Chain A
Amino acid sequence: MKTVFAPTAGMVPTDTSYCPGCSHGVAHRLIMECLEERGDLGRAIGVVPIGCAINAHHFMNVDMCESTHGRAPAIASGIRRVHPDKVVFTYQGDGDLASIGAGEIVHAAHRGEKFTTFFINNAIYGMTGGQMAPTTLIGQKATTAVDGRTVEQAGMPLRVCEMLATIDCAVFVERVMLNNPANVRKAKKAVMTALDIQAAGLGFTFVEFLSACPTNWGLAPVDALKWVETDMAAYYPVKNFKRPEGY
């Protein structure tokens, strides 16, 4: 019989710990498929964050380490100094990257660190149970903003791609959206391009995934995917912000 589909060797053959409708599984698979297709699984080193995705090292079939909260870009910078020829990446959520780790991501980008950061933006703290994140939308409810986020109390949601795109040595910055198969395919292309650019040693590469968190949004999975498209993408435009010539 002809094999028409096989799971990627980049994923450990086990169930994930993520909630139904969560986008982490899709993002994990895209990244691992790209590493496998590039022949990079044996030379990839990943850093997982604090947050739901701390569990990613149970599922991503490559060498990995955990991180203190927000410091994955610093850790990846250290790994890079020892292994300049490997494929290095961080995988971080929005609480980890945009709040407590805002300094580390800016400076890794600023130095043009030759690794790739995959940023899962679901506009909320997932693991700790639905607190407001820097990326929580205005009016969006959270356990620390029960009537919805207000500008007066918490300012405007932080647009990380737009911020990093101002930094010269961040050479590839793209926001993608994991809401339907067509956009998932586009997201994979962005992952592949980021890894191509990392391999070429051109500078810091960054892919943001607009992602669903049905559990903490209090939405059914299908409604959560709709909300990614209608509400999140309205504030966080899905597009390429920056790419080197030829990519």
Chain B
Amino acid sequence: MSKILMKGNEAFGEAAIRAGVKCYFGYPITPQNEVPEYMSHELPKAGGAFLQAESELAAVNMAFGAAAAGGRVFISTSSPGLALMQEGLGFICSTEVPLVALNVSRGGPGVGGIQPGQADYIQVTRGGYNGDAKIPVFAPAGIQECVDLIYECFDIAEKYRNPVMILADAMMGQMMEPVELPPKKEITPVDRIPQVKPWAITGTGQHEGRNVIFSLRMQPDVLEAHVEHMFEKYARAEKELVRYNTIGLEDAEVVFVAFGTMSRLCVETMEIMAERGVKAGLIRPISLWPFPEKAFDEIGPGTKLVISTELSMGQMIYDVKVAAKNRWPVGLIHRTGGIVPSSIEIADRAMKLLEEVNAR
């Protein structure tokens, strides 16, 4: 297959179409606008349905309806829009309906800004929804990886009957990279939905008995049993969905932990540090939940410092500290508000943190 040059947001939409998506729902918000724009003209050509919602609240609920009815559903938004979708996402977890949500994140809090940010880490890994629920989250570092993840995540969502989230950022949404697109899957025809998703609300004429998709459980013991059932799935997800990459952990003096855009900068930073005589390694979580704690067991004996490197005031650092289990001091290098630091800035700050550790 040959590669073509595509803008991130358009490639993400195309990946969903090729995954056999039936419906896309979205609301305009920068920096993900090219996703709904692309879907508006390309999804109908592929036999799917595009609908511009009146709000993110409506979008996530349209998505629930279409997914409950058995359609493959994709939604996208950016940080404040995701905050609006949170109630719906928790509800969808409780009803065990699968869909894939893309967050092309920006700086916050509040309206914040439109430049790249990673300050949604807690929002996506802990959720803003009420109650006990989890959503698997994958954070690609480039357009190709994001395309591949979107394509695959529909199967993951349907396997677990739960939403799955992709966390990209404004950098990935807005830049262009060469990308190899996966083959097109067919949209499941309406009359085949009951075979693929026997739980879907298709009308009783299409299946045995009556399908009801619900969240309300008034009896505490019934609700507890349902939440425990959900957490059995999440325990499986913690075993099956952990993904990460590492570079040079065996003999690293300093180990960066970084995802998405920040991880790309760390790869450059490692070269700069090598020129300055310090060997650095990298843990790149791809799954943010479940967090790849086991990657930290690959860190070699010579490591003096682990640095959580983030485009936020430090959100992933809590997971990094848990994973570090007090084996190394955990530092933080960060910029926020939409500022992406240079690799030289990261290297300077890492060298300073290392000096502080060495001076102890």
Contact = CB atoms under 8 A, between A and B. Distances in A.
Interface of A: 41-45, 47, 54, 57, 61-68, 71, 74-83, 85-87, 103-104, 107
A79 B212 contact: no
A152 to B, nearest CB: 30
A182 to B, nearest CB: 33
Contact of B201 (A45, A61, A77, A85): A45
B232 interface: no
Interface of B: 22-23, 25, 49, 51, 53-55, 57-59, 61-71, 73, 87-88, 91, 95, 190, 193, 201-206, 210-216
Contacts of B213: 64-66
B62 A78 contact: yes
B203 A74 contact: no
Contact of B61 (A57, A68, A85): A68
B25 A62 contact: no
Contact of B57 (A47, A54, A71, A77): A71
A42 to B, nearest CB: 3
A83 B203 contact: yes
A74 B53 contact: yes
A78 B64 CA distance: 7
Contact of A63 (B55, B71, B211): B211
Nearest to A67: B61
A65 B95 contact: yes
Contacts of B214: 57, 65-66
Contact of B190 (A41, A44, A78, A82): A82
A41 B205 CA distance: 8
A62 B204 contact: yes
A68 B92 CA distance: 9
Given A64-B212, A78-B69, A104 B51 contact: no
A85 B190 CA distance: 10
A78 B25 contact: yes
B210 A83 contact: no
Contacts of A78: 23, 25, 51, 61-69, 71, 73
B55 A103 contact: yes
B66 A63 contact: no
Nearest to B25: A78
Given A62-B203, A79-B66, 11 more contacts: A45-B201, A62-B210, A63-B202, A63-B204, A65-B68, A71-B88, A74-B62, A78-B63, A78-B67, A103-B54, A103-B57
Nearest to A63: B201
Contacts of B54: 103-104, 107
B205 A74 contact: no
27 contacts: A42-B203, A43-B205, A57-B212, A61-B210, A63-B203, A64-B213, A65-B201, A66-B95, A67-B61, A68-B61, A71-B57, A71-B58, A74-B57, A74-B62, A75-B64, A78-B25, A78-B62, A78-B68, A78-B71, A79-B66, A81-B23, A81-B49, A82-B66, A82-B193, A103-B57, A104-B57, A107-B54
B204 A81 contact: no
